[in-house]
Chain A
Amino acid sequence: DTAVSQTPKYLVTQMGNDKSIKCEQNLGHDTMYWYKQDSKKFLKIMFSYNNKELIINETVPNRFSPKSPDKAHLNLHINSLELGDSAVYFCASSLQSGVETQYFGPGTRLLVL
Chain B
Amino acid sequence: QQPVQSPQAVILREGEDAVINCSSSKALYSVHWYRQKHGEAPVFLMILLKGGEQKGHDKISASFNEKKQQSSLYLTASQLSYSGTYFCGTEPPGNQFYFGTGTSLTVIP
Number of interface residues of A (CB under 8 A): 22
| A98→B97 contact, CB < 8 A | yes
| B42→A97 contact, CB < 8 A | no
Are A33 and B97 CB-contacts (below 8 A) given A42-B102, A97-B91, A98-B91? Answer: yes
Which of A20-28, A64-72, A76-84, A102-110 faces chain B? A102-110
Q: How far is the CB of A56 from chain B (nearest CB, A)?
A: 9
Secondary structure type dominating chain A contacts:
loop
Are A104 and B91 CB-contacts (below 8 A) given A43-B102, A45-B98, A98-B30? Answer: no
**What total count of A-B pairs have CB within 8 Å?**
52
CB of B106 closer than 8 Å to a CB of A: no
| A90→B32 contact, CB < 8 A | no
Q: How far is the CB of A63 from chain B (nearest CB, A)?
A: 19
